[in-house]
Amino acid sequence: MLEQGWPTYVPVADHSLLVSFGDVITDQANAAVLALDRALAHSPPEGMIECIPAFVSLLIDFDPLVTDHTRIREAAENLQQDPPAGQPRGELREVEICYEEDFAPDLAAVAQASGLCIDEVIKLHLQGDYQVRMYGFAPGYAYMSGVPSEIQVPRKPSALRDIAAGSVLIAGPQCLVTTLKMPTGWSIIGRSPTRILTRDESAPFLFGVGDKVRFKRISLVEYEARRESGNHD
């Protein structure tokens, strides 16, 4: 159940409405975001263009020549009171990961910070209950919650450049699989050959917001085989 005073509705420019379900990340707030996102997709109000879900908020973009903030808010409130039946649950997605030392330059540091050995960090990472919460600034960058508390480490004070696509990163409770070569201040603990960018226009990313993710460990030999077969970005 949401705390008193939520959700809030804040107009953004003349074409968007920000619906927020809290000011801290909680499962209840994120579940409310996903429920409204799916309800709007199922029954879009006139003039709605798209919805952009985040951890605790949802941005509803609309055509100001067709509708306005008041009517979009009314539609959102009505959908929360009477959500459509049979809303789909998130899919379970599997992502392969290789923890080879060359792919995991921060694994030893995570182990040291956690007071664990490397094998224990790997075991805990594989046991994490991951869920896609939102998409970030780059194509296919799915921010996932679910990193076990025992191996949660803070973001680094400075970013490292040119991190390879497919790198598996953690920071605090979040996990991410990169899709492009980019800088990061998160801890790099492995690499995945799993294709995140699907090249399918109707479903361009492997994940959808709300999907569950399970990591599966593979060896270096298996990783190289996946790369050679083209199962990578």
The closest alpha carbon to 20, from 73, 56, 55, belongs to 56
Angle at 154 between CA 150 and CA 156, to 5 degrees: 140
Structure confidence by residue, pLDDT tens digits, 1-37: 677 889 999 999 999 999 999 988 888 898 899 889 9
Please say whether the beta carbons of 37 and 51 come within 8 A: yes
The pLDDT profile of the chain, 233 residues, written as one tens digit per residue, is 677 889 999 999 999 999 999 988 888 898 899 889 989 998 999 999 999 988 899 999 999 999 999 999 999 999 998 766 655 567 899 999 999 999 999 999 999 999 999 999 999 999 999 999 888 878 889 999 999 999 999 999 999 999 999 999 999 999 999 999 999 999 999 999 999 998 887 788 998 888 999 999 999 999 999 988 765 44
* Domains parsed from the chain with CATH numbers: 8-81 (3.30.1360.40), 92-229 (2.40.100.10)
Could you give the 3-state DSSP secondary structure of residue 191?
strand
Alpha-carbon gap, residue 142 to 38, rounded angstroms: 18
Structure confidence by residue, pLDDT tens digits, 214-232: 999 999 999 999 988 765 4
Alpha-carbon gap, residue 199 to 129, rounded angstroms: 27
Question: pTM of whole model > 0.95?
Answer: no
Amino acid letter for position 216? K
Alpha-carbon gap, residue 14 to 22, rounded angstroms: 23
| Residue 220 CB burial class (10 angstroms; 0-12, 13-18, ≥19) | middle
Structure-token pair, residue 79: 């959908």
